[in-house]
Amino acid sequence: MTVTYTARVANAKFCGFSKLLLAWKGSIYKVLYKEFLAFFAMYTATSVTYRFFLDDDQKRYFEKLAIYCNHYASLIPMSFVLGFYVTLVVNRWWNQYTSIPLPDRLMCVLSGGLQGNDERGRLLRRTMMRYASLSALLILRSVSTAVFKRFPTMDHVVEAGFMTREERKKFEGLHSPYNKYWIPCVWFTNLAAVARCEGRIKDDHTLKLLLQELNGFRGKCSMLFHYDMISVPLVYTQVVTLAVYSFFLVCLIGRQFLDPGQGYPDHDLDLYVPIFTLLQFFFYAGWLKVAEQLINPFGEDDDDFETNWLIDRNFQVSMMAVDEMYGDLPMMERDRYWNDSNPRPPYTAATLFVLRKPSFQGSTFDMAIPKEEMHFQPLEDIAENLEESGTRHPNMALFNRLLHATPSPTGFMGGALRRTSAQLQRLYHSPSNDGCTSDDGCTSDDDEEDEEEKSCKIGKGGLEHCSSQPVISHPRAMPPIPKPPSAGNKMSLLTVPSSIEPQRFRSVSMGSEFTGS
């Protein structure tokens, strides 16, 4: 039986695994003690030979050999090789368990889909379920040594009741060089078609669902067969085994305690027993034993799958579900919480502490928010803020800081920016818009290179004033800019024709250009 210790580690506590270290069945001590004793005996024999049977010249040669072996033993990548190999084997081990065919889904669909409480209906359900169990038995008999020992021949299968003698003749009459575990599944489908013709399966949807469950059951049987046929590559297993064995053969010489009087580095103590070398052997060799136990879980090791128990359980449960339980329903009656809108099952004294815990409402249920941030804001203010944020260029604030940080106008960059600004003004001013004279507060093009960071700020009626700081206009909306009134100074705004660059804003200030969305 598989060693189960789940209940003993249900709760994490101080030294929770300590009691597990004393277990023998399925333990590392049981699978490793022979190799461990053999390694310790060989190490002891080597140490005794070095200490008592070698002369001085032979001892010096042995000591050089030991230092050499200890130095180069670390070149064998034990952790790397073993880690990948054991991970591969453990994943394969669990996938093989999930591939064991279980009849639970199939028996539920069969019990509810194939109607008929008479002898014919009962015979159909039991025969079809027996065919599914027979298919699982045949595949497990092909991959598991424990199941094969229980059913070594087809006579044992017939005698156990999984197959009749007539079915055996039909089975053996179908000649195929391959494993014939799939034949009972085909018999199942043929019986399902007969039941559909007889009207015991009411519609095609039920028949489709039944065949889908059967195909899933048969697919797991096929996966077990392929896992048995396709093993972990032999070269990988050989590399790992050779790495472990060669490492510890080298350690038999390299980990010997040498004569402290010779003054060799790291050989100041003579402890006789290599404690850490033995621990290293215990861990690495035990790791290899884990892979050896799990690489084929259909054997007879302590932690292998209980395939014979699975056969018994699946056959008994499936037959009960499609025969004795067919149409067998308990009397329906009102439950004890019939008139209770908030039913709560009772608790025992051992679980009463659950009631003291508050019900979970969500991770933000107890989050604190200041009262001044809880008030709703008027929709008019929200719309105005959204309009302003939508028309403002996202990089405008950053560019303002950059403009304030520009060098002095007497420098190279300042003069370049002013010249670029003047060129842009000449490009974007139409002939009718050149009315900005020195009388209105704006300098001429020839004098702009001598001014200090002046920009023209656009107002509603034209150019109002010039400042020594760069001014960037932030348009608030996309509609076309209205024409200036006829009275006063006639001045049109600096705009770009929409036919050339639609939805594009330009602000002429220090030679900079921005694009709005």
- Contact of 514 with 399, CB cutoff 8 Å: yes
Residue 106's H or E segment, with its range, is helix 104-113
pLDDT band of 392, cuts 50, 70, 90: low
pLDDT, position 380: 78
The SS3 call for residue 456 is strand
pTM: 0.69
In a domain, 121, yes or no: yes
Question: Range of 204's domain?
Answer: 104-229
In a domain, 143, yes or no: yes
pLDDT, position 516: 41
pLDDT, position 440: 45
The SS3 call for residue 516 is coil
pLDDT, position 396: 57
In a domain, 153, yes or no: yes
Least confident of 17-26, 93-102, 108-117, 334-343: 17-26
The SS3 call for residue 463 is strand
pLDDT, position 399: 55
In a domain, 146, yes or no: yes
Please provide the DSSP assignment of 387-430 as one string: HHHHHS-TTHHHHHHHHHT---TTSHHHHHHHHHHHHHHHHH--
Number of domains in the chain: 1
For 481-506, what is the mean pLDDT? 43
Per-state percent for the chain, helix, strand, coil, to nearest 5: 55, 5, 40
pLDDT band of 58, cuts 50, 70, 90: very high
In a domain, 201, yes or no: yes
Chain mean pLDDT for the chain:
81
Residue 114 has pLDDT above 50, yes or no: yes
Q: Could you tell me which of 182, 183, 211 has the C-alpha nearest to residue 113?
A: 211
Task: For 254-270, write each residue's pLDDT tens digit.
Answer: 999 998 888 888 888 88
In a domain, 335, yes or no: no
pLDDT, position 378: 83
Token pair for 398: 């950053």
pLDDT, position 421: 54
In a domain, 138, yes or no: yes
Q: Which residue has the higher pLDDT, 498 or 151?
A: 151
For 60-78, what is the mean pLDDT? 91
Task: For 279-295, write each residue's pLDDT tens digit.
Answer: 999 999 999 999 999 99
Least confident of 85-94, 113-122, 388-397: 388-397
In a domain, 194, yes or no: yes
